[in-house]
Amino acid sequence: MDFSTRPNEHIQMFDFDDIAPLGHEDPSDEAKGFLEKAAGLLDFAFQPIVDVHNGAVFGFEALLRGHQEMGVESIFDLFDRAEELKILHRFDMIMRARAIGKFASLPRNHRTKLFYNLDNRIISAPDYFQGGTKSILKEHNLPRSTLCLEISERHEVSMKMAEENLARYRGEDYSTAIDDFGAGYSGLKLLQEHQPDFIKIDGTLIRGIEKDKKQKLMVSTITDLAHVLGIFVIAEGVETEEQLRICKEIGCDLVQGYYISKPQLDAGFLQTQYPGVLSAGRRKESSANEEINIIYEQIEYRPPLRVDDSMSIVFEAFRSNKEMTFFPVVDESGSPLGIVREHTLKEYTYSPFGKDLIANRGTGLTLRKFLSPCPVADVHAPTRSILENFSLSESPEGIILVKEFSYLGFLSAASLLRVINENSLAQARDCNPLTKLAGNSSIASYVSEACPNTAEDFVLAYMDLDNFKAFNDAYGFRQGDRAILLFAELMRKQFQQDNIFLGHVGGDDFFVGVKGVTLSTVRQMVDKLLARFQRDVESFYDAEAREKGYISGKDRDGAMRQFPLMSCSVALLYLPEGRAEGTPSFEELDNAIAKMKKSAKSSPDHVAVCCF
């Protein structure tokens, strides 16, 4: 299906004078020429904003194109010129109509949003009036919640203008976003006082996040703060798979950038789903499914109120559900906006004529006036993130859960305690009780995901302590446990990166899985680990054994022999990027492991390598 549009197609449907109130001054001839030229030359490219959990398109940002043909160096210059001509709002409304009209033809569902950049100076423009956007949306049968107005903290305008924009448009039930968050100085104040629906983390904070731990911590902190306030987070400027993986790991809800899609003038190139987002940084499926199942078992469904419900409906909801002290509140598309608490209404409930006063729409007291922030989390988010959001929040009620940004249910404080307990039990079942490293189930899940993934390098390391049985027999199981704990601790110190998985197969067998790192780099890390263990474990032997370099004991057949001091042998299996599909099969992998472990024990450096 062709969704492409001609530059003038939707602008011709819009006439500013049809919706502007009487008394507005006609623009000058120069201004009229500017508007006509803009209508003919300017167009919008759309860039998808996608759900980090499933790759589904959540919205499109409208990005103005063609400013060079207007004879200006930047898009900002266009709006500056419109302000000089005293037609800033008129110009913006024409552009807004163009964007909304083109958006209406895109492949989308009823929840898909249009993100539109707002010039903060508009509300102070001499040609400003209210109600124009509502008329344009109505013409295309779109609800107000479809439009998300982005207010940038980059604009060199007073804080007062930005605050007025946020307050006004939120009060009219439009979604709002703070754009370029982190690039200016005013974002935190806007975040605290005006509660936008979204923040868009500036691309300068995302660029290089895979290399800079401080940058990662900063973005993670911003994300946690937003979630505590019930605000969704969009990461802008995602250009690589690693950046996407980190954004997903630290809890960003949505992503936008060239890695997903460049802005497209031709809407025919846009998709409703981007599968590459789903595969990047995917959590271990068995572990993730178990966590999600635990969460689902504890979800309490509280029927939400809609933000456009009358106050009479709100009072009736509390009257009919006397055990309820609060209700979640959602917008027209089902996305949560916060909660309304019964006690915030008591001033009106218990005063003479209070309920009549608040139920009268003429007073301007709508449900939105009584909203309180509540932390929000996606049901697919790691349990750790959900618990962190609640612990940082001042909301004692609990946390709102969403699925694909629609209200799903509520987790109370008691439910969260049960989630913690169930997760602790689930982790204990799979962790090795001695080292607390992941056990066989998690190791098997990791290997089963690594083998079919031909898009990345993987190194699988199977480690076996040499002469451990002889040591354990000679010095006892407590010393044997100490040796195992020593190796586990050294392994943790040597392999600290986020893309590394550590496991304890059992006994004196260990496993390390490394993704996206060269074989030579992993080999260097393994060599350091083996050398450190061989040096440190000597102290576990008595002075005579250390001097001799061996201990005497019985082998598996009961014969006496000499056993060298403990060391470690490692079988390295390299699965390179771009290898043939289905390579290696699980049978091939098992055979290679057995063969390489045997070769490693007889090798002078205790390492054997197999490349597939």
* Confidence label for 61 from pLDDT (cuts 50, 70 and 90): very high
Please check whether residues 483 and 505 belong to one and the same domain.
yes
Percentage of residues in the chain having pLDDT higher than 90: 49
Please check whether residues 343 and 441 belong to one and the same domain.
no
Residue 13 inside a domain? The answer is no
What are the E-state strand segments in 496-542? 500-506, 509-515
Please check whether residues 264 and 156 belong to one and the same domain.
yes
Residue 354: the pLDDT is 63
- Give me the residues paired with residue 338 across strands: 329
Give tens-digit pLDDT for 348-395. Answer: 766 666 666 666 666 667 888 889 889 998 888 878 788 877 877 777
Residue 287 inside a domain? The answer is no
Would you say residue 532 has pLDDT above 90? Answer: yes
Residue 156: the pLDDT is 53
Residue 553 inside a domain? The answer is yes
Which of 422, 445, 476 terminates a domain? The answer is: 422
Longest dimension (CA), the chain: 108
Residue 5 inside a domain? The answer is no
Please check whether residues 329 and 387 belong to one and the same domain.
yes
Residues 565, 534: Cα–Cα separation, whole Å:
8
Cβ atoms within 10 A of the Cβ of 558, count? 6
Residue 181 inside a domain? The answer is yes
Please check whether residues 322 and 370 belong to one and the same domain.
yes
Chain-wide mean pLDDT for the chain?
A: 86
Give tens-digit pLDDT for 481-526. Answer: 999 999 999 999 999 887 899 999 999 999 999 998 999 999 999 9
**Residue 21: burial class (beta carbons within 10 Å; 0-12, 13-18, 19+):** exposed
What are the E-state strand segments in 91-197? 113-118, 147-152, 175-181
Please check whether residues 236 and 304 belong to one and the same domain.
no
Residue 9 inside a domain? The answer is no
Residue 260 inside a domain? The answer is yes
Would you say residue 187 has pLDDT above 90? Answer: no
Residues 241, 186: Cα–Cα separation, whole Å:
31
- CA of 200: how far to CAs of 128, 141, 222, 385, in Å? 27, 27, 10, 19
Give tens-digit pLDDT for 433-471. Answer: 899 998 888 898 889 888 888 888 999 999 999 999 999
**Helix residue spans in 299-412 (DSSP H):** 311-320, 346-349, 354-359, 383-392
By the 8 A CB rule, do 57 and 173 touch? Answer: no
Residues 193, 171: Cα–Cα separation, whole Å:
14
Residue 48 inside a domain? The answer is yes
- Residue range 253-265: average pLDDT? 95
Residue 358: the pLDDT is 66
Please check whether residues 362 and 410 belong to one and the same domain.
yes
Question: What residue type is 36 in one-letter code?
Answer: E
Residues 134, 491: Cα–Cα separation, whole Å:
61
Residue 498: the pLDDT is 75
- Residue at token pair 């909301």: 395
Please check whether residues 310 and 274 belong to one and the same domain.
no
> Worst-scoring range by mean pLDDT, 28-32, 87-91, 325-329, 343-347?
343-347
Residue 600: the pLDDT is 95
Task: Establish whether the linkage from the previous residue to 584 is cis, with ω within 30° of 0.
Answer: yes
Residues in the chain: 612
Torsion on CA atoms 252, 255, 258, 260, rounded to nearest 10? 120
* Confidence label for 5 from pLDDT (cuts 50, 70 and 90): very low
Give tens-digit pLDDT for 547-580. Answer: 999 999 988 888 899 999 999 999 999 999 889 8
Please check whether residues 512 and 565 belong to one and the same domain.
yes
Cβ atoms within 10 A of the Cβ of 269, count? 12
Which of 256, 282, 308 terminates a domain? The answer is: 282
- Residue range 62-78: average pLDDT? 92
Q: Which CATH number goes with the domain that contains 195? A: 3.20.20.450
Q: Cα-flanking dihedrals φ and ψ of residue 610, to 5°?
A: -130, 130
Torsion on CA atoms 223, 407, 96, 73, rounded to nearest 10? 20
Please check whether residues 160 and 303 belong to one and the same domain.
no
By the 8 A CB rule, do 336 and 400 touch? Answer: yes
Which of 422, 442, 463 terminates a domain? The answer is: 422
- Residue 74's SS3 state is coil
Percentage of residues in the chain having pLDDT higher than 70: 88
Please check whether residues 530 and 413 belong to one and the same domain.
no
- Retrieve residue 171's tokens: 């009060």
Residue 239: the pLDDT is 94
- Retrieve residue 428's tokens: 């204990």
Would you say residue 324 has pLDDT above 60? Answer: yes
Residue 576: the pLDDT is 94
What range does the domain containing 36 cover?
Answer: 29-282
Residue 419: the pLDDT is 84
- Greater confidence (527 vs 19) lies with 527
DSSP state, 33? H
Q: Which CATH number goes with the domain that contains 599? A: 3.30.70.270
Which helix (DSSP H) or strand (DSSP E) does residue 380 occupy?
none
Please check whether residues 260 and 342 belong to one and the same domain.
no
Residue 12: the pLDDT is 44
Query: How many domains does the chain divide into?
Result: 3
Q: Which CATH number goes with the domain that contains 328? A: 3.10.580.10
Would you say residue 110 has pLDDT above 80? Answer: no
Would you say residue 476 has pLDDT above 50? Answer: yes
> Worst-scoring range by mean pLDDT, 314-318, 328-332, 423-427, 469-473?
423-427
Question: What residue type is 337 in one-letter code?
Answer: L
Residues 217, 250: Cα–Cα separation, whole Å:
9
Candidates 220, 246, 243; CA nearest to 389 is 220
Give tens-digit pLDDT for 273-285. Answer: 888 787 665 544 4
